[in-house]
Amino acid sequence: MTDVGEPLVVLKDVNKHFGDLHVLRDINLTIHRGEVVVVIGPSGSGKSTLCRAINRLETIGSGTISIDGKELPEEGKDLARLRSDVGMVFQSFNLFSHMTVLDNVTLGPIKVRKVPKAKAVERARELLTRVGVEVQEKKMPAQMSGGQQQRVAIARSLAMDPKVMLFDEPTSALDPEMINEVLDVMTSLAKSGMTMVVVTHEMGFARRAADRVVFMADGEIVEQNTPEEFFTNPQSSRAQDFLSKIL
């Protein structure tokens, strides 16, 4: 477990509707620098919408979200810059299919961060080594396994030097034998002090790597606790019910 620092991502009274559906209800959540927060809850409870709101892939109806002390604006240049502080890894491996692994990882730093190419390549190789796919740098995504592609996706996000990394069910689309290779990379990232928000059904990962578990149901944060407390002593009937189905 990491020593957690000052607030990095702060959600205050966040509400979001899709038509009549109230998908985020008065969400108040503070994620501290270096903290690893695992978000769990039934399907449809708003976990993906929460991640997407933090990255402003979704607008919010009311409330505020700030990253490192700066409130996310609705649009504009500041939004693009603040958004680049947030890395995101999705369930589906969304690598650029027409580019090599190396080009996938260097594209953002070169185009957005204006990093010189040689430097971007050097850093990309370090990151590909860190996630264990360095020998594959010339391959196209389709030539790799799902687990390898997901590790490249993590390296690609890290190449932008994000302040916080969001993972939305990063192992849900993987064949079982590939889940651990991705979780191992995430665990080592957590240990390195990265601030992380991880939506996952992998309770082993939550127990091992989370500083805090946030349980959502019906758009609300129902309870949150250390993994040990949450898994052994869930307080709400909804959390008890959820855990009884998955454990």
Please give the residue ranges that form the binding site for ligand ADP (CB under 6 A): 18, 21, 23, 41, 43-49
45 interface partner picked from ligand ADP, Mg ion, none, CB below 5 to 8 A per type: ligand ADP
Calpha distance 50→69 (Å, rounded): 19
Q: Least distance in Å: CB of 172 to Mg ion? A: 9
Contact of 152 with 105, CB cutoff 8 Å: yes
Place of tokens 């264990």: 132
Calpha distance 125→11 (Å, rounded): 35
**Residue burial 73-94, b: 16+ Cβ < 10 Å; e: rest:** eeeeeeeeebbebbbbbbbebe
Helices (H), the chain: 47-54, 77-83, 101-111, 117-130, 146-158, 176-191, 203-209, 227-232, 237-246
Strands 195-199 and 164-168, by their bridges, are parallel
Q: Least distance in Å: CB of 157 to Mg ion? A: 18
Amino acid at 188: S
Q: Least distance in Å: CB of 219 to ligand ADP? A: 7
49 interface partner picked from Mg ion, ligand ADP, none, CB below 5 to 8 A per type: ligand ADP
With respect to ligand ADP, which residue has the nearer C-beta, 45 or 157? 45
Q: Least distance in Å: CB of 28 to ligand ADP? A: 17
Q: Least distance in Å: CB of 130 to ligand ADP? A: 28
With a CB cutoff of 8 Å and minimum separation 6, the contacts of 10 are: 29, 30, 31, 64, 65, 66
23 interface partner picked from Mg ion, ligand ADP, none, CB below 5 to 8 A per type: ligand ADP
Q: Please tell me whether residue 157 binds Mg ion under the rule CB under 5 A.
A: no
What residues from 3 to 62 belong to the interface with Mg ion (CB under 5 A)? Answer: 47-48
Strands 164-168 and 86-89, by their bridges, are parallel
With respect to ligand ADP, which residue has the nearer C-beta, 121 or 217? 217
With respect to ligand ADP, which residue has the nearer C-beta, 36 or 217? 217
Please identify the residue of the shown chain whose CB is closest to the bound Mg ion. Answer: 48
Q: Least distance in Å: CB of 223 to ligand ADP? A: 16
With respect to ligand ADP, which residue has the nearer C-beta, 103 or 168? 168
With respect to ligand ADP, which residue has the nearer C-beta, 57 or 107? 57
Q: Please tell me whether residue 200 binds Mg ion under the rule CB under 5 A.
A: no
With respect to ligand ADP, which residue has the nearer C-beta, 82 or 217? 217
Task: At 80, give phi and psi (nearest 5°).
Answer: -60, -40
How close are the terminal C-alpha atoms of the chain, in Å? 23
Binding site residues, Mg ion, CB under 5 A = 47-48
